[in-house]
Amino acid sequence: MSAALFLPLLAALLASLFAILLVDQWLRRRRPYQLAWAVGVAMFGVAALAEVLGTASGWNGVLFRLWYLTGALWVAAWLGLGTVLLLSRTRFGYAFALAIFLAGLFTFLARHRYGDAGPWPIVYFGVAGALALIVAWDTALGGTIWARLFTAILVLGTAGSAIMLASAPLGDPTSWIRPETGLPNLDLLPASIRLLSPLFNVTGGLALVFGAIFSAYVFMPKRRVLYYSLDPDQKADELAFNLAISLVAFPVNFVASLPGAVRAFMSGRLHSRVTATVLIALGGSVASVGTGLARFGEVRAFDLSLVAGLGLLFAGFLASVETFEDLRIPFTSRLIWHRDARP
């Protein structure tokens, strides 16, 4: 079996196994972030399987659309949703609001790269900006509605993107595949659909990265060099002032706390959520980088990134007591291993 088939097939099998384990955990514990991560990992597997089928038997319109939707749009967004739901009761909403705004801004600035997209770049930027304001406002009020709101919008966006791509013409089938990569030619897609990729991916990717940094800082031993407060009970002008200060104070305090975090990790005292979210963020980032390399013809790097990304994701899930307090044969009571729900 060639590497062009083996690596994506391995990724599809691993993703299927991980998704089943996550669904089993969700059925037992009913944690919403477990279900979101299960959906994201399942999307990973579907994208890899579509590549296997397309490479082995030839690409068609269904496989083309399925590969793009699951791999280029939905994976990062749903994995990012898992991090959002995990941290929904914290001040992470401020960081996530920034992530949404940056995703909308990047989508707007990238509009000329994909040709004439009509009013869609403005629409996408407007929706992202409005959502970012709502998330930041609800976080300031100490609420958790922002996480449920993003969940609803992502579900609608997932359905909407599927409808948009299902109705989009792909042109002559002989031009569907790039000869140098053997993967679908994304230049055939309308700009309005291509622009959904940075909107979904940047939002999800930054949620993973910001969530890892935020979790590391919250749960690591801290050294505060610069003081600030995000207490929702303070006056509006004081909160605005502290938010501005936090843009500098947070990275300074984070860097100052790293030596203590390393010592805690070496002694086994570091909270499991720190290790888990960092590994999950790395897994999502590796997969996103691989998707970008595929656009430049680096197909083997893309396939390797699928397997490496899945490995990091699963390592993160296993490191998290919140996700895997125990590991069982799926949908049975047979225990493989168990650990106490503690850091």
pLDDT digits (tens, 9 = 90+) for 198-252: 899 899 989 988 988 888 888 888 888 888 888 877 888 888 888 889 889 988 9
Buried b (16+ CB within 10 A) or exposed e, 172-192: eeeebbbeeeebbbbeebbbb
pLDDT, residue 233, reads: 79
CA separation for the pair 35, 24 (Å, rounded): 9
Where do we find the tokens 């040709």?
115
Taking CB atoms within 8 Å and a gap of at least 24, the contacts of 314-318 are 314/14, 314/18, 314/283, 315/279, 315/283, 316/275, 316/276, 316/277, 316/278, 316/279, 316/280, 316/281, 316/282, 316/283, 317/18, 317/21, 317/22, 317/37, 317/276, 317/280
Mean of the pLDDT values across residues 293-298?
Answer: 56
- What mean pLDDT, rounded, does the chain reach? 85
CA separation for the pair 130, 150 (Å, rounded): 12
CA separation for the pair 155, 81 (Å, rounded): 10
Q: What stretch of H or E contains 338? A: strand 335-338
- Residue 25 has phi, psi (to 5 degrees) of -65, -40
Domain 3-220+271-338 has CATH 1.20.1070: yes
Residue 284 corresponds to which tokens in the numbers above?
Answer: 């999502």
**pLDDT band of 97, cuts 50, 70, 90:** very high
Q: What share of the chain has pLDDT > 70, as a percent?
A: 90
Mean of the pLDDT values across residues 260-274?
Answer: 82
pLDDT digits (tens, 9 = 90+) for 24-47: 889 888 889 989 999 999 998 999
Does the pLDDT value for residue 342 go beyond 60?
no
- pTM: predicted TM-score of the whole model, two decimal places: 0.87
Q: What is the DSSP string of 220-237?
A: S----SS-----TTS-HH
Bigger pLDDT: 52 vs 287? 52
Asked whether 93 and 135 are in contact (CB, 8 A), the reply is yes
- Residue extents of the structural domains in the chain: 3-220+271-338
Q: Which residues contact 229 (CB under 8 A, 6 or more apart)?
A: 242
Where do we find the tokens 């490191």?
319
Helix axes 92-109, 145-166, angle to 10 degrees: 30
Note the residue count of the chain: 343
Residue 246 corresponds to which tokens in the numbers above?
Answer: 């936090």
Q: Which residues contact 180 (CB under 8 A, 6 or more apart)?
A: 297
Bigger pLDDT: 142 vs 178? 142
**What DSSP designation does 330 have?**
T
Does the pLDDT value for residue 175 go beyond 90?
no
Closest by CA position to 157, among listed 193, 129, 133: 193
pLDDT, residue 343, reads: 47
Where do we find the tokens 């409005």?
130
Does the pLDDT value for residue 129 go beyond 90?
yes
DSSP-based three-state secondary structure for 43: helix
pLDDT digits (tens, 9 = 90+) for 65-88: 999 999 888 988 999 999 999 899
